[in-house]
Amino acid sequence: MATAEYTSVPSLTYRLYRPFSKVLSHIAQQKWAFLLLLLPPLLFLTLFFVVPMAMFLREGFVAVDPHSAARTLSFGNYVRFLGSPDYLKVLWNTLRLGVIVTLLCLLLGYPLAYAMARFGPRWQRWILVAVISPLMVSVVIRTFAWQVILRNRGPLNDFLIAIGIVDSPVRLLFTFTGVVIGLVHVFLPYMVLPLASVIEKIDPRLEEAARSLGANVFRRFFEVVLPLSMPGILAGSMLVFTASVSAYVVPELLGGERVQVVPTMVTQQILILLDWQFGAAIATILILLTLLVLALYRWLSRRSFQPAK
């Protein structure tokens, strides 16, 4: 062995460590060694996530006889939800919310992302700080802030009246609009960050080349920057949409009973009406919706990377 050429005696700590090291090396050479690393987290997740989720979602397929408490397999809950116009309205409301919030986040987020990528390090730094710091504050506090702001006697209404846009306070709290505002505020960073990451990678010389060829601002944007930033747009939109339709806190606190979305409905059914089975079915529908959007995203991103025909 090489270090036989060296005659020094190994240090004490090493001599104590040596037997352990030998055992470790012996184990590490086994084919099943990776299981020692994989199983603890996997078991944890299975026991405390997969199993609970499966148990809960299973409830959606169960009908409980009100008298005998007998449980039978049934699609009744789904029929009840999908067959009722009122319930479908809630679903529609939720989807509408998701789309509007996503579009607004895109509209507001794109300039931020572009500025972050193109305006230089000073702008990037400050925009990053402004975008990341809300993420570190609890959603409760952020929603509390909007509760204060959107009140009839709150700063926003005071401001609107002061500059003469309206004569009397606009009701924003406990409205769909209020919920939209709150969600846009919460999820805007999720749009900006992926988008900025993508825009940054677009070679700025492409825009310069377009300008030197005579394209004006709009043409440069729509024909160069926008198409190339599509992966970022898709990623951000997917994140914001799935988060919006799954959101609970903001709709509950800023929308109250007047704004019904699927997550608040699930909570209502389960915690107030104690209809676990129905709640579970609705939750499953929500999950399926989320997975559908995810699949759509995957399909779209694969397509947008195909070479243009």
Partner 1 sequence: MPSNMAEKILIRGVVIAILIFLIGPLVIVCGLSLSKANLIKFPPQELSLRWFADVWKLDGFVAAVVLSLKLAALTTVGTSVLGVMGSLALVRYRFAGRNILLGVFLSPLVLPAIVIGIALLQYFRTIDLLSTFSTLLIAHIAVTLPFMVRTMTASLEVMDENLFDAARMMGADALQTFIYVTMPSVRSGFIAGALFTFILSFDNYTVSLFLTDPQTETLPIRMLKFTQVRVDPTVAAAATILIGLSLLILLLSIHLVGLRRLGGLSSSKA
Partner 2 sequence: MDIALEGIGKRYGNDLALEPLDLQVPPGELLALLGPSGCGKTTLLRLIAGLIEPSQGKIEIRGRDVTHVPAHRRDVGLVFQNYALFPHMTVWQNVAFGLRMRGMPKADIRRIVDETLEVVQMARLGERLPSQLSGGQQQRVAVARALVLKPAVLLLDEPFAALDKALRDQMQIELRNLQRRLNITSIFVTHDQDEALTISDRIAVMNAGRIEQIDSARGVFETPKTEFVLGFIGQSNKFEGRVEAANAHGATVAIRDWRIKVVNASQGLSVGDKLTVAVRPGKLSLSREAPAADQNAIEGTIIDTLYLGTSTQYYVETGGVRTEVHRQNTDSSSAEQNFAIGDRVWITWLPQSTLLFPR
Contact set with partner 2 (CB under 8 A): 1-3, 5-6, 8-11, 13-15, 17-18, 25
Closer to partner 1 by Cβ: residue 150 or 176: 150
In order, the DSSP letters of 36-89 are: HHHHHHHHHHIIIIIHHHHHHHHHTTEEE-TTT--EEE--HHHHHHHH-HHHHH
The binder of partner 1 chosen from 74, 175, 177, 267 (CB under 8 A): 267
Site membership for partner 1, residue 120 (CB under 8 A): no
Which of the listed partners (partner 1, partner 2, none) does 248 bind, with a CB threshold of 5 to 8 Å by partner kind? partner 1
129 binds, among partner 2, partner 1, none (CB under 5 to 8 A by kind): partner 1
Q: Which of helix, strand or coil describes residue 7?
A: coil
Query: Of 80, 96, 142, 171, which lies in the binding site for partner 1, with binding defined by CB under 8 A?
Result: 142
Burial 249-272, CB ≥16 within 10 A → b, else e: bbbbbbbeeebbbbbbbbebbbee
| Position among 169, 175, 221, 230 found at the interface with partner 1 (CB under 8 A) | 221
Q: What angle separates helix 85-118 from helix 121-132, to the nearest 10 degrees?
A: 150
Q: Output the CA–CA distances (angstroms, integers) from residue 155 to 69, 149, 162, in the order listed.
A: 53, 5, 10
Residue 120 binds which entry of partner 2, partner 1, none, CB below 5-8 Å type-dependent: none
Give which of partner 2, partner 1, none residue 200 binds (C-beta under 5 to 8 Å, depending on kind): partner 1
Nearer to partner 2, 8 or 68 (CB): 8
| Residue 29, CB-side half-sphere exposure with 13 Å CA sphere | 5
CB of 24 to partner 2, least distance (A): 13
The answer to whether 304 contacts partner 1 (rule: CB under 8 A) is no
- Of the candidate spans 65-73, 142-150, 160-168, 172-180, the one that interacts with partner 1 by CB under 8 A turns out to be 142-150
Q: Which residues pair with 72 in a beta bridge?
A: 63
- Residue 62 β-bridge partners: 73
